[in-house]
Amino acid sequence: MSGADDRKITDHPESWAVEDTVERFRSPKVAMRTDWVRMPGAGGRPEVVQRDMFVHPGAVAVVALDEAGRVLLLRQYRHAVGHQLWELPAGMRDVDGEPPVRTAQRELLEEAGFRAATWHELAEAFPSPGFSTERVIVYLARNLTEVPAAEIDFERVHEEADMPVEWVPLEEAVQAALNGRLHNASTLIGVLAAQAAVRDGLATLRPALG
C-alpha cells in the first residue's frame, strides 16, 4: 500500500451541528449530557437525533518497561464491573492545565513509586466513542528509578490502599491479553502497542510532548 493510501485510513476531527443540549448530571469530575444532533439522514433528508454522552476529562496510562523487558502491573478493585483487574498505572486528567505527560509522570510516581527518564507516546484511544468523550493517552516510560515511599507526597486511599504490584515480562503480559486474562482497555492497548514498538526497535515511537 502506498503512503497516499495509508493516509486515507486516518481518523479526523468533525463536528455535526447541535440543535439543543441539556446537562443531566454533574459531579466534581464527570457529567452526563444530551445533545440533539443534526444528521444527514436517509435519502438526503436531514434529521435531528438525540444522543446521550458521558463527559469525561480524559485519562493517561503508563507502560513502565524496565531493562529486563518487564512491564509493571497493579491489581485494583473496580466496583462498576465487579472485578479485581490487573492494570497499568493510570489516572484521570483531573488537574486543570496539567499536560498529559505530566499527569502520567505523577500517576507513575503516586501509584507505583517510580520515576522515568525517557518518555514516549505509544497510543491514543477513545475507549467508548459511542457514548463517552473520554480520550486516553498511553505512554511508554523507560530508564526507571524507584523512589522511596518517604519521598512521595501522596496517600493511597480507598481502592488504591491495597494495590499489589507485579513486574511481568512483556511477552507474558501480551499472552495474558490475548488469552483473555486481562480486561482493562488501556492495559490491553498498552501492552500490545509496547510489543509492536519493541519489535520495531523503538524506532517508530512518538515523543511525549508537553
User: Catalytic site residues?
Assistant: 160
Q: CB burial class (10 A; 0-12, 13-18, 19+) of residue 32?
A: middle
Cell of 76: 485494583
Cell of 197: 514498538
Q: CB burial class (10 A; 0-12, 13-18, 19+) of residue 152?
A: middle
CB 71 within 8 A of CB 173: yes
